[in-house]
Amino acid sequence: MAESGTQHRGMPMSTSRIEIVESINEFATLLKDIWISAAIQSIESNNFFSAALSGGNTPQVIYKSLAEIIPIEIWNKTRLFQVDERYVSPEHKDSNRKMISETLIKSLPSTKAEFHNIDTDLSIEESAKSYESLIKNKVTCHNKIPSLDLVILGLGTDGHTASLFPESIVLDEKERLVSPVYTSSEMHDRITMTYPLLNKAHNIIYFISGAEKADVLHNLLEKTYFHYPAAEIRPENGSLTFLCDRESASKLYQ
């Protein structure tokens, strides 16, 4: 049973909504309608649909079912991108490219879908610059900035999203659309889409699951003074949707 349409203080009221479902297994069904609707609209206007995918664990179950629930006609006109990447080889166990390839790309029917991954064989600076150029070339621009049709995000327990971590200088980036992020060694250095690019997206969806996210989600949506990096995801002319399971939403509305 989903509760929908709830809006929360601190988020762009006109564009945010939250859907709560019993389990993560229902996420793909909710995503399907949003994905197909956004794709049809973009394909009609631009002849293709652009979607950027995050890494992490939560979206894996969703990516595993996407290949079969989205019609091939849409895949034929889809350009997939990465929201962020760990600066590791594509074969590394922590590679988001590896995870997306294994959960989604390998399951796609023979289609013309394009998967534009972040090239971590380049230096980290060159990788970010190269990816920014690719996005400018492959995504429809509005006012000279690419506007992705759909972005899938996760939420860390520290309030990060993408590779936009608390206290990181990338939070202040106002020009670059893709940036390197230098972190502590166990988290790997990263390449990430920045606020200037993410906030131009037409549809942003957070997938949030598990009791360990209950506090951060409660603080993000209902205690705006926490100033999490995720709180600055405010699509300028787009929708912002939180798809949460019952466990992660357990401290909302208290």
Residues in the chain: 254
**Residue with Cβ nearer ligand 6PG (113 or 191):** 191
According to the binding rule CB under 6 A, does residue 180 interact with ligand 6PG? no
**What backbone phi and psi angles, to 5 degrees, belong to 60?**
-60, -40
- Burial state string for 108-122 with b = 16 or more CB within 10 A and e = fewer than 16: beeeebebbbbbbee
Q: Which is nearer to ligand 6PG, 154 or 180 (CB)?
A: 154
**Number of residues lying near ligand 6PG (CB under 6 A):** 14
Residue window 65-104: x/- pattern of binding to ligand 6PG, with contact defined by CB under 6 A: ------------------xx-----------x--------
- Orientation angle between helical segments 60-69 and 27-46, nearest 10 degrees: 60
Site string for ligand 6PG, 154-173 (x = CB under 6 A): xxx---xxx-----------
Question: Shortest Cβ distance from residue 44 to ligand 6PG (Å)?
Answer: 30
In the complex, what is the shortest distance from the CB of residue 250 to ligand 6PG, in angstroms, rounded to a whole number?
16
Query: What is the dihedral sign for C-alpha 141, 76, 27, 159?
Result: negative
Q: Nearest approach, Cβ of 213 to ligand 6PG (angstroms)? A: 7
Span from 55-63, 120-128, 131-139, 195-203 in contact with ligand 6PG (CB under 6 A)? 55-63
Element (H, E) at 126: helix 124-138
> Which residues, 6 or more positions from 12, have their beta carbon under 8 angstroms from its beta carbon?
234, 235, 240
CB closer to ligand 6PG out of 54 and 103: 54
By CB under 6 A, is residue 55 in contact with ligand 6PG? yes
β-strands 16-21, 239-245: how paired?
parallel
Give the up-direction half-sphere exposure of residue 89: CA atoms within 13 A in the CB hemisphere.
2
Q: Interface residues for ligand 6PG in 105-164 (CB under 6 A)?
A: 154-156, 160-162
- Near ligand 6PG by CB under 6 A: residue from 4, 25, 37, 57: 57
Rounded to a whole number, what is the distance in angstroms from the first to the last CA of the chain?
19
Q: Which is nearer to ligand 6PG, 139 or 164 (CB)?
A: 164
